[in-house]
Structure 1
């Protein structure tokens, strides 16, 4: 016959004093109060595991946060499970997993975890574009869904709304990004397999559009228009700088003075600012030096060569050049990224070395094996190429209309 234990009272629990060793006071029917030497009082339920027959215990909480009445309620619930042949510890673990799947591991939360890894592999501007697209088109509809309830049909229904607006390229990118998120979830053990791997087949393929750019023979028109445009001198300087250096809009707009070695005439863009996450060195021509000198003369206290007019502690927006080109009348004909295309088309037409041109554009040439053996960036050989291109720009602008014209 089991020994009867007098139930605890709140006063008895409250007045129990710690000693130099752990104390255990029983409330009966498996509920115990542990008192540690540091004064901590915690409730636990002790039971015989119905599956193994071994003695086991579950910590319920600490006193006074968990009162006697609530501790007894928890102990009663666990006793009922044991009487049904269920291990309460295993039951609680399964319930926790279910709860997290429904509340913690939502598509939004898992996307945040994935994005915190993804953003280190892409440029800051592209990372912002990724997250913004999910905020606009995905999270409002299914962001609070448990990752375990995301199905191909659910994603298709969500993206069909975007497709109906004619944004096929956005649909393609969203499908790709959601696939990466679901693959990440599978790799983390949150789901068994990625259920949306084939959703892109449910949508029309977007027509591939080339970046809008002028033809090489239209370069004089651009330079003359630029010279007479009603835009800030710093914006004009940025456009010419981007044209001379053949860089992408965000690479040019985000240029920092610390990246320039003027004594050796080299601009080094760090890997984290490059699309392919690979450091890019650019020979600085005499014409580019003139543009840098002009920006220095503006005496703007900023770490950036082209600081924002609103906040000099930040760079100009990567779309600043784009908006200026639109206002100059080149909307539908030229985007700032297309300045690179003018350079590429001109240099190739003039018979310059293909590998030097691709290196100047920071393109990866050849397969992975080829790149592993050929690691040169042709820096010294590119000096002549860049010099030719800068002089060609000045010549096309009839010299006087270019900020980069060397006196």
Structure 2
């Protein structure tokens, strides 16, 4: 019964702007996001129970993220299948929340709800406001109704088990809730309030599905992919953006929202500001000759201001994520379900297999260092190695694309020798 054809992504939601009147972004299966003129966004679920149509509020975005909203949607759909009304349950939850808040004001801080709020304030103060709101939302929906009023030292593994078993149909949520409870009790132990963590023995009770990794291409497949990009007959901006994903090893959002003031064609560098990077650290891309050719082509035919990869229909906005996703789905080169994000893994694997060091590849991928001092140092580290790696990557793609599948093995042997010229290593 779980709905799988969801359509929304966090990027699309974040980019959705308010309009003069409220409007909906449909996710599928009756789940949608309502955006009102003030800019507030909230999840809602429309359903039919018998002959009556109903609607229930799931929560606000981003406090309720995409994954949590879909888990809640699944639970609501299951209720409807059983003939239960999700809106009625929601009303009861709100009443119980009011009662708990009243009791919390009257009581001390030795019950689970009060201490977990203290944990959020004291231990998560360096986290973003959105992250703290998401944690509190999970506690409010799944944990406080069950053990919020209990004294910390009276909560047993049995109580925690009941909470996560109720979420078994949504294993990622169940394990996420268990981890939150475990972290709260770790802090309570540090404060010498309790001696035992009731969530710790329950590790592994809920089997969490393995994370789905983005597929990456082997060298023969990469050559076929590159040839199919040209043959598809898409708009030149879409093709250029696709190629730049591979040439730059950047994330999709970082490429699509590139602006001309970030590009220095004379120095052959692309400076992406921290605000546009996932890790919130500035990133420098050393442009290969092939990447420069793309940028110069786009600059020659465009106005060279605003977005480098503008929307085909509206030049004032960047090319949409959905456009690129659909383009990848249309490509027919013998590999199914290859996504834009897979270009990063493909490029990284190719470079590592041809002798480029892990440190260089990690810098190209703009992966954050856990050590902030090291991160600041690495921002300008290994420029020549990084430039050489991206030029090698572009040259290798050209070689693979120009070679038939029959000759791939011969090329691989030749390329293995030529890679020594770029890496500076000896066999």
TM-score, structure 1 normalization: 0.54
RMSD: 5.0
Give 3-state SS (helix, strand or coil) of 1:267's partner. Answer: strand
TM-fit CA distance, 1:318: 4.2
Looking at structure 2, the residues matched to 162 and 327 of structure 1 have their Cα atoms a distance apart, in angstroms, of: 37
Give 3-state SS (helix, strand or coil) of 1:202's partner. Answer: coil
Query: Is 2:258 aligned against 1:250?
Result: no
Aligned position for 2:232: 229
Which one of the candidate residues 268, 287, 291 is aligned to 2:290? 287
Looking at structure 1, the residues matched to 397 and 285 of structure 2 have their Cα atoms a distance apart, in angstroms, of: 17
Gaps of at least 5 residues in structure 1 are 1-93, 121-126, 400-407
Looking at structure 2, the residues matched to 372 and 322 of structure 1 have their Cα atoms a distance apart, in angstroms, of: 32
TM-fit CA distance, 1:389: 1.2
Looking at structure 2, the residues matched to 308 and 250 of structure 1 have their Cα atoms a distance apart, in angstroms, of: 14
Which one of the candidate residues 368, 384, 395 is aligned to 2:399? 395
Looking at structure 2, the residues matched to 155 and 323 of structure 1 have their Cα atoms a distance apart, in angstroms, of: 43
Looking at structure 1, the residues matched to 335 and 134 of structure 2 have their Cα atoms a distance apart, in angstroms, of: 25
Aligned position for 1:89: none
Which one of the candidate residues 97, 103, 127 is aligned to 2:105? 97
Contact 1:300 1:312 in 2 (8 A): no
Q: Deviations 1:21-68 (Å, cap 9, x if unpaired)?
A: xxxxxxxxxxxxxxxxxxxxxxxxxxxxxxxxxxxxxxxxxxxxxxxx
- In the alignment of these two chains, the number of paired residues is 290
Aligned position for 1:383: 387
Contact 1:162 1:171 in 2 (8 A): yes
Looking at structure 1, the residues matched to 140 and 301 of structure 2 have their Cα atoms a distance apart, in angstroms, of: 45
Q: Deviations 1:344-403 (Å, cap 9, x if unpaired)?
A: 2222222234432232222357x749937963521123222211111222233339xxxx
Structure 2 counterparts to residues 213-224 of structure 1, below 5 A? 213-224=216-227
Contact 1:114 1:184 in 2 (8 A): no
Which one of the candidate residues 334, 344, 348 is aligned to 1:344? 348
Which one of the candidate residues 203, 206, 213 is aligned to 1:203? 206
Q: Deviations 1:154-193 (Å, cap 9, x if unpaired)?
A: 876666566425xx4565556557877x69998xx9x999
Give 3-state SS (helix, strand or coil) of 2:331's partner. Answer: helix
Q: Deviations 1:61-118 (Å, cap 9, x if unpaired)?
A: xxxxxxxxxxxxxxxxxxxxxxxxxxxxxxxxx988349999x99x99x999999964
Looking at structure 2, the residues matched to 275 and 297 of structure 1 have their Cα atoms a distance apart, in angstroms, of: 30
Looking at structure 2, the residues matched to 114 and 256 of structure 1 have their Cα atoms a distance apart, in angstroms, of: 38
Structure 2 counterparts to residues 6-405 of structure 1, below 5 A? 97-98=105-106, 118-119=127-128, 138=138, 141-142=141-142, 148-149=148-149, 160=165, 163-164=168-169, 168-169=171-172, 171-172=174-175, 198=200, 201-297=204-300, 299=302, 303-309=306-312, 312-318=315-321, 320-329=323-332, 332-363=336-367, 368=371, 371=374, 375=378, 376-398=380-402
TM-fit CA distance, 1:245: 0.6
TM-score, structure 2 normalization: 0.51
Gaps of at least 5 residues in structure 2 are 1-101, 404-427
Looking at structure 1, the residues matched to 196 and 307 of structure 2 have their Cα atoms a distance apart, in angstroms, of: 43
Looking at structure 2, the residues matched to 281 and 231 of structure 1 have their Cα atoms a distance apart, in angstroms, of: 29
Contact 2:237 2:309 in 1 (8 A): yes
TM-fit CA distance, 1:203: 1.3
Cα separation, partners in 2 of 1:96 and 1:370, compared to 1, 3 Å? closer
